Amino acid sequence: MFRLIVYYYSKIVKKMRLSSIKASNIHPSSKIESGSNIVNVHMDRHSFCGHNCEISNAKIGAFTSISDNVIIGGGTHPVDWVSMSPVFYKGRDSVRKKYAEHHRPEPLQTGVGHDVWIGHGVHIKQGVEIGTGAVVGMGSIVTKDVEPYAIVAGCPAKLIRKRFDDNLVKLLLESQWWMFEDKKLMEYAKDFNDPLRFIERVQQ
């Protein structure tokens, strides 16, 4: 009984942390879980971000699933300067001292397509594009663009395989089902477990 009480107490505490969302546009049907820090992010409908994520300067499509402890975007240090320390560039940072306030280049926007699944603990470098329908395996570090419907994993992330053959990928991308209105989605949803049947119906 005691363990059950502790379990539910810890769940409540986890939820109580809330999330931090700044300068972002999150669709009302999407969800940001507690403990996540979201800055300058656009998230389309029916997507979600798990607990303890750090996402900045990103555009995220519809129906995308982001697990816990995921980092997308983020800042960089000026590796081509004399020093990479924040004491030499403009902006507030962990270190208070400023010897100079040089301007760093603006951070690049990171793109995450529609119906993407990003596993637990993934890190995605700023400026990377994750294609629609892609899967990023847990713990991966993504430093390069990921093609639509590719499954990637590793450090750095590499192609494991494609979810479907090239022709089916092409047809799914052309269908743009993630743009369907709710009524149309309800009509086609019964065939979402059979991609070939779904495409067959779309083409009728």
Length of the chain: 204
Q: Quote the pLDDT of residue 94.
A: 82
Q: Quote the pLDDT of residue 9.
A: 52
| pLDDT exceeds cutoff 80 at 152 | yes
Of the candidates 147, 171, 176, 144, the one whose C-alpha atom is nearest the C-alpha of residue 157 is 144
Task: Tell me which amino acid residue 143 is.
Answer: T
Query: CA-CA distance, 138 to 123, in Å (whole number)?
Result: 9
pLDDT digits (tens, 9 = 90+) for 176-188: 999 999 999 999 9
Confidence band of 5 (pLDDT split at 50, 70, 90): low
| pLDDT exceeds cutoff 70 at 1 | no
Which residue among 27, 51, 77, 103 is the active-site one? 77
Task: Tell me which amino acid residue 177 is.
Answer: W
Confidence band of 2 (pLDDT split at 50, 70, 90): low
Per the annotation, the verdict on 102 as an active-site residue is: no
Query: CA-CA distance, 134 to 55, in Å (whole number)?
Result: 18
Q: Which residues of 53-81 are buried (b: 16+ CB within 10 A; e: fewer)?
A: bbbbbbbbbbbbebbbbbbbbbeeebeee
Mean pLDDT of the 109-126 span? 98
Q: Quote the pLDDT of residue 173.
A: 98
| pLDDT exceeds cutoff 90 at 120 | yes
Query: CA-CA distance, 135 to 200, in Å (whole number)?
Result: 24
| pLDDT exceeds cutoff 90 at 3 | no
Q: Quote the pLDDT of residue 13.
A: 54
Mean pLDDT of the 119-138 span? 98
pLDDT digits (tens, 9 = 90+) for 11-39: 555 555 667 899 999 999 999 999 999 99
Mean pLDDT of the 103-127 span? 96
Query: CA-CA distance, 69 to 77, in Å (whole number)?
Result: 22
| Residue 169 Rama label (left phi>0; alpha psi -120 to 50; beta) | alpha
This prediction has a pTM of 0.89
Q: Quote the pLDDT of residue 192.
A: 97
Domains annotated on the chain, with CATH: 2-163 (2.160.10.10), 164-204 (no CATH)
Residue-averaged pLDDT of the chain: 92
| pLDDT exceeds cutoff 60 at 123 | yes
pLDDT digits (tens, 9 = 90+) for 47-81: 999 999 999 999 999 999 999 999 999 888 899 99
